[in-house]
Amino acid sequence: MDMAQKVSAETAPGTTPGATPDTTNVLIVGVGGQGVIMVSRVMARIGQLQGFDVKQSEVHGMAKRGGVVFSHVRFGPTVWSPTIPRGKADILLALEWAEGLRWLNYLKKGSGTFIADTRHIVPPFACLDRTRGAKLGYLAEPPGVVLDQVADGYALDATALASALGNHRVSNTVLLGTLSVVIGFAPEIWQKAIAEMVPPRTVEVNLKAFEAGRRWAAAARENPESAREHTLRKPAVLPELEARDFELRITPEWCKGCDICVKMCPERCLSLNALNIVELTEPDRCTGCRICEWLCPDFAIDVIKTLPETASR
Amino acid sequence: MENFEIRFGGSGGQGLQLSARLLADALIREGRKVARSQSYEPTSRGGLSRADLVVAAKRIDYPLITALDVLVLLDQLPVAVSMPLLRPGALVIADARRAGEIPEGDHDLHLLPLSESALALGNERATNIVALGVLAGLGEVCEHDTLETVIRDGVPPRFLDLNLRAFAKGVELGEAGGPGR
Amino acid sequence: MPSQSTARDLQGNQACALGAVAAGCRFYAGYPITPSSEIAETMSVEMPRAGGVFVQMEDEIASLGAVLGASMGGAKAMTATSGPGFSLKQEHIGYGAGAEIPCVIVNVMRGGPSTGLPTRPSQGDIMQSRWGTHGDHSVIVLAPASVPEIFSETIRAFALSERLRLPVIVLYDEVIGHLVETVEIPAPGTVEVADRKWATGAAESFQPYAVTDDLVPPMARPGDGYRTHTTGLTHLESGFPTQEPECVERITRRISGKLVHHRELIESYEAAGCEDAEIVVCAIGISARAARRAVNAARAQGIKAGLFRPITLWPFPESAFKSATASARTIIVAELNAGQLVLEIERLCGGARQVESIARVDGEPIEPAEIEAKIRELSSHG
Amino acid sequence: MDEISADSFNIRDYLRLELFPHFLCPGCGHGIALRALLWAIHELGIDKNDLAIVSGIGCSGRTGAYIDANTFHVTHGRPLAFATGLALARPDLEVVVITGDGDCLAIGGNHLIHACRRNLNLTCMMLNNEVYGMTGGQASPTTSATRYTTTTQSGSIEPVFDACALAAAAGAGFVGREVTIQTPALKNLLRDAIAHKGFSFVEVLSDCTEIFGRKNDLGESPEMIMTQKSTMRPASYGVVGGNIVDEPFRATNLKTGILTRTDRPEYGAAYRAHAAGIRAARKS
């Protein structure tokens, strides 16, 4: 699917490429402090202003800075569930590059649109060996590679555009500008929603950021290759997946359900069960990075490395 | 005297504790039992100071002064508090210059130029040793030779000569008896 | 090195320090306080000579804390203090009693309460020495009355402390502490140095507070592989805390039972002229010295007087006291406080004997004449 | 290096497993700090038979019992005093003190400053959760201004202690601070503190979710430990000698990492040398 085709498809809500006639699913991801929640609330507000039923769910229990944050926004004539199943997002909006990569499997195959800031913010712990056993690793894929994998993609240095306006924090609004071109609706509606949601003192710069994002998107449509401007190096060959050389051992009788591991897991592969005891619910995503082990105050999680024979003493 | 109580009274810094220690040492060498106590106040510079010995041939029951047999006074300060403790007929040795006002009473007073003698020897601080010499000279408390030996053993070498001369002067004063009253 | 004992004129506090050295004390932590400071001063000289440690701590609490720490490390350890400092030490006396850590605490009594009379004698800590820390606890209090006895009782304090795993308090008044008397110092190496029972056997099955026949559990030394837990919380035989009523009772009873079980080892007293005495004077420290002269004087006058002097003040030598006073009609308790020891004597006499108190609180020692007058007054001949 | 030691470090080798689960509340940062400490011990190759843990009273003090070593749970505020005696009597042992903000800075403040001054070879890990947790949530010397506790029901107005500035000023040879969420960095800090010859003071910003966090609406444990991280300023690790007292009496925006490291004479060695000199002089 080429860019022109997608551009022509951009007309009205509900007709976004790949979306069901009823519901548009927007998944917004980033790390703490970037403004994921603001973006999702603007999206939700726009849905309301358009008269749609809107459902929004967000995970932002992490902290002001550094932790992983994501938000699901769904709008349409009638929306039942607030969460977007894997592979069902029409749009994945990533405020941070690696987070965008990590959530790629939520995007609809063949039709989803990927919008991401190319800036890297290394989250806490820097995920020592996230690549081990993980499908997508930090810095492993430059934008060009990613954009080749998605139906439609925009990789822009929104932070640079925001900084040019004098406030790097409005990078999220730059991305909203880009998103507005993809989704449609009248710009005035977007501007109204943004003005409502941002602090009064920053309305002006946010509206400028919105325009900057729109201009960049418009230029990208004029010249699709410019959307790939960040293809900085040749596509890397993804390493073959190694056999798992670790095991996550949970001692349920020691777990007190404090939720630290669940919230801190970069891969979100842990959750608390009905008894408030931790369980490994997404074992495929576990990379053995040990963050849960280190941060468990109850010593209830051990990451056991099964060292290769040659390395064992 | 076999069992007796003796006090060295004066003001802080006069070397009363040394006198008492040397005398105690000598008495122990002579086979007596001695309990030594002292005023326990910060009196190294002036202020009432005293050193008491309770001496017995055998075991000492009560180790504190109850009735003094001998009182050595190097200063006026301890006079008032010590006089009531005197046993009738007690021996009192007082420095004529610094403890000249001794009340009348049933005691054997020897008012002697203790500090003047020390000054004449070149150091007033040897007054305490002059007093020891008087005790030896009077011959009632302790043997001369034992006392001289403990002085030789017990004072710093650089002061030994001065102290031996002070001791000898005291012996001389003691043997002369001095003006009783 | 002299192979025979040597006579030395020592101040009471010096004798205490030298007794500790002879007993094997190799750790001293203290804080200066009148009238006990000479003990620290002497130990500051003796400890490095003996290959031990002297440390002047930041306060009284820290001093006993450091002593307990050193003792837990295996060293024989001591601290010394006086009135206000003894009050501050109570917290750690309790710890030593509860966790069963051998240690020796010297209290040179001075006038109180509070700062009181720093340089004047008192016997006002008779009850505090027994009951100063909170909760039921077991301590031994030794009350020497002469300088040679300070030396020997300090040695005995270490022996009892090590053998029974508890704090032992050496309690004497300022007069005895500053008195100079002649002490026969045994030749080096001739004093029997008592040592605690050390853990032996398998570490896995070792119980640091096991119930043994003598009620004194062996102690594990850090580094020997036992890796035990020590706590001031009421704890099980394993060393770990418990609140189970029956466990708490079992542990508490065993600890207090040590004193009963080893009563013969612990108790020490002097009974002079008590066999036929109709009046017995009971006193410790300088008051007992006055009493001895008074009793002798009374005897010379034909009055049947005797002296009972507990050398082990706590636990009070009850049966010895009872047999010593079997013939007595009257007990006189002479003490430098408003009446503490007399309470124990009244309890022991149970109303069967007349108990009279000489309680002096003016900062001066009781004089023999005062006691003698009382004996004469109470004597049937008087 | 971290990864290698993490792979060989099995915390269960250092725990008294029969006592688990431990008594700490859900999400209590003390558990994380305990892991970092044991990890550091493991990395240094210290034999647990030669490890002595001395701890005081409070939640921090109770953590020592879970360590499979020679553990001493002593009186309130006094672990440094006990440890001083133990370390002087037994220089062959590795003595680590676990204490809390109340234990160490309030009732034990005097012992802390003198332990720093003396510079005896000890490591003091102070777990700072800004509150007396075990007694039910009263204000401590590190309770930030405006925080609510059961003894500051309308908000604390007392200034807080900067424990590291205090320790450095009092002469501690090694001073550092870290948050629990930076577990490997905390481990490194503790490792260097234990290896340092002299008195080492490490302040660990821990969280008390159940009592302090709840009362002050600070969120759950994940939020609390993340907040701690965001309100600290990491000094680049290993850089020493910064001005650690840049703004005293505040609980946030403090530096983390090694704050002071000086090679003042260690007291125990100095004492032993001094005593040996005295003995030698007497023999000759």
Query: Which whole number is the average pLDDT over B43-61?
Result: 86
Q: Are residues C126 and C275 in the same domain?
A: no
Cβ-defined contact of B62 to C293 (cutoff 8 Å): yes
Query: Which whole number is the average pLDDT over B58-84?
Result: 95
User: How many domains are there within chain C?
Assistant: 2
Cβ-defined contact of C27 to D88 (cutoff 8 Å): yes
Q: How far is CA B23 from the centre of its chain?
A: 8
C-alpha distances in angstroms, D39 versus A136, A299, C222, D14? 30, 12, 21, 9
Q: What per-residue confidence (pLDDT) applies to A197?
A: 87
Query: Which whole number is the average pLDDT over C53-78?
Result: 98
- Domain with D35, as residue range(s), is 2-283
Higher pLDDT, A228 or D50: D50
% chain A with pLDDT above 70: 73
**pLDDT bucket at A80, cuts 50 / 70 / 90:** confident
A101-113 pLDDT tens trace: 778 888 888 888 8
Write the CATH number for C354. Answer: 3.40.50.920
Evaluate whether chains A and B are touching (3 or more beta carbon pairs less than 8 Å apart).
Answer: no
Q: What per-residue confidence (pLDDT) applies to A51?
A: 85
D19-48 pLDDT tens trace: 999 999 999 999 999 999 999 999 999 999
**b (16+ CB within 10 A) / e for C340-378:** bbbebbbebbeeebebbbbbbeeeebbbbebbbebbbeb
Element (H, E) at D95: strand D94-100
Q: What per-residue confidence (pLDDT) applies to A234?
A: 32
A157-208 pLDDT tens trace: 888 888 888 888 898 999 999 998 888 888 899 999 999 888 888 899 999 9
State the fold for domain A246-311: Alpha-Beta Plaits (3.30.70)
Of D25, D30, D35, the CB nearest to A294: D35
Evaluate whether chains A and C are touching (3 or more beta carbon pairs less than 8 Å apart).
Answer: no
Higher pLDDT, A19 or A205: A205
Neighbours of chain D (3+ CB pairs under 8 A): A, C
Q: What per-residue confidence (pLDDT) applies to A232?
A: 36
Query: Which whole number is the average pLDDT over C249-253?
Result: 94
Q: Are residues C30 and C132 in the same domain?
A: yes
Task: Check whether D217 has a pLDDT greater than 70.
Answer: yes
Lowest mean pLDDT among A249-253, A296-300, B42-46, C264-268: B42-46
d(CA C73, CA B71): 53
Task: Check whether D145 has a pLDDT greater than 90.
Answer: no
**pLDDT bucket at D251, cuts 50 / 70 / 90:** low
Neighbours of chain B (3+ CB pairs under 8 A): C
Best residue in A247, A299, A303 for a mutation probing chain D (most D CBs within 10 Å): A299
Residue where a domain stops, chosen among C121, C150, C185: C185
Q: Are residues C30 and C153 in the same domain?
A: yes
All domains in chain B, ordered by first residue: 4-175 (3.40.920.10)
Q: What per-residue confidence (pLDDT) applies to C67?
A: 98
d(CA B105, CA C9): 35
Average model confidence (pLDDT) across chain A:
76
Q: What per-residue confidence (pLDDT) applies to C317?
A: 98
C335-354 pLDDT tens trace: 999 999 999 999 999 999 99
d(CA C245, CA C250): 9
Backbone angles phi, psi at A307, to 5 degrees: -70, 145
Interacting residues of A277 by C-beta distance below 8 A, sequence separation 6+: A252, A255, A257
**pLDDT bucket at A154, cuts 50 / 70 / 90:** confident
Q: Are residues C36 and C140 in the same domain?
A: yes
Query: Which whole number is the average pLDDT over C128-147?
Result: 96
Query: Which whole number is the average pLDDT over A29-47?
Result: 83
Q: What per-residue confidence (pLDDT) applies to D1?
A: 43
Between positions 265 and 324 of C, the ones with CB within 8 A of B are 286, 289-290, 292-293, 296
B129-142 pLDDT tens trace: 999 999 999 988 88
Handedness of CA A165, A167, A168, A172 (dihedral sign): negative
**b (16+ CB within 10 A) / e for A155-178:** bbbbbebbeebeeebbbbbbbbbb
Interface of B with C (CB under 8 A): 21, 24-25, 28, 33-38, 40-41, 60-64, 66
Write the CATH number for D72. Answer: 3.40.50.970
Q: What per-residue confidence (pLDDT) applies to B114?
A: 96
State the Rg of chain C over Cα: 21
Q: How far is CA D172 from the centre of its chain?
A: 13
On whether the CB atoms of residues A279 and A259 are closer than 8 A, the answer is: no
Interacting residues of D217 by C-beta distance below 8 A, sequence separation 6+: none
C-alpha distances in angstroms, B140 versus A143, A261, C133, D133? 115, 93, 53, 76
Q: What per-residue confidence (pLDDT) applies to A118?
A: 81
Provide the shortest C-alpha distance from residue A261 to chain D (in Å).
8
C-alpha distances in angstroms, A192 versus A213, B38, D86? 16, 97, 71
Residue C297 lies in a domain: yes
State the fold for domain A3-228: Pyruvate-ferredoxin Oxidoreductase; domain 3 (3.40.920)
Lowest mean pLDDT among A33-42, A56-65, B24-33, C100-109: A56-65
Residue C90 lies in a domain: yes
Q: Are residues C154 and C14 in the same domain?
A: yes
Searching chain A, which residue's CA lies closest to the CA of residue D206?
A297
Residue C92 lies in a domain: yes
Backbone angles phi, psi at C161, to 5 degrees: -60, -45
Interface of A with D (CB under 8 A): 32, 61-67, 124, 128-129, 253-254, 256-260, 262-264, 290, 294-300, 302-303, 305, 307
Interacting residues of A223 by C-beta distance below 8 A, sequence separation 6+: none
Which residue has tokens 């003005």? Answer: A195
% chain C with pLDDT above 90: 96
Of A264, A297, A303, the CB nearest to D31: A297
**pLDDT bucket at D170, cuts 50 / 70 / 90:** very high
Task: Check whether A10 has a pLDDT greater than 80.
Answer: no
Strand D174-179, strand D254-261: pairing: antiparallel
**pLDDT bucket at A141, cuts 50 / 70 / 90:** low
Q: Up-side HSE of residue D7: CA atoms within 13 Å toward CB?
A: 14
Of B21, B34, B41, the CB nearest to C182: B34
Q: What's D25's DSSP letter?
A: P
Residues of chain A with Cβ-Cβ distance to D179 below 8 Å are none
Residue where a domain stops, chosen among C154, C185, C216: C185
Chain A within 8 Å of D253 (Cβ-Cβ)?
Answer: no
Q: What per-residue confidence (pLDDT) applies to D120?
A: 97
Residues of chain A with Cβ-Cβ distance to D181 below 8 Å are 124, 264, 295
Interacting residues of C47 by C-beta distance below 8 A, sequence separation 6+: C21, C26, C27, C28, C53, C54, D275
D91-128 pLDDT tens trace: 999 999 999 999 999 999 999 999 999 999 999 999 99
Q: What per-residue confidence (pLDDT) applies to A123?
A: 47
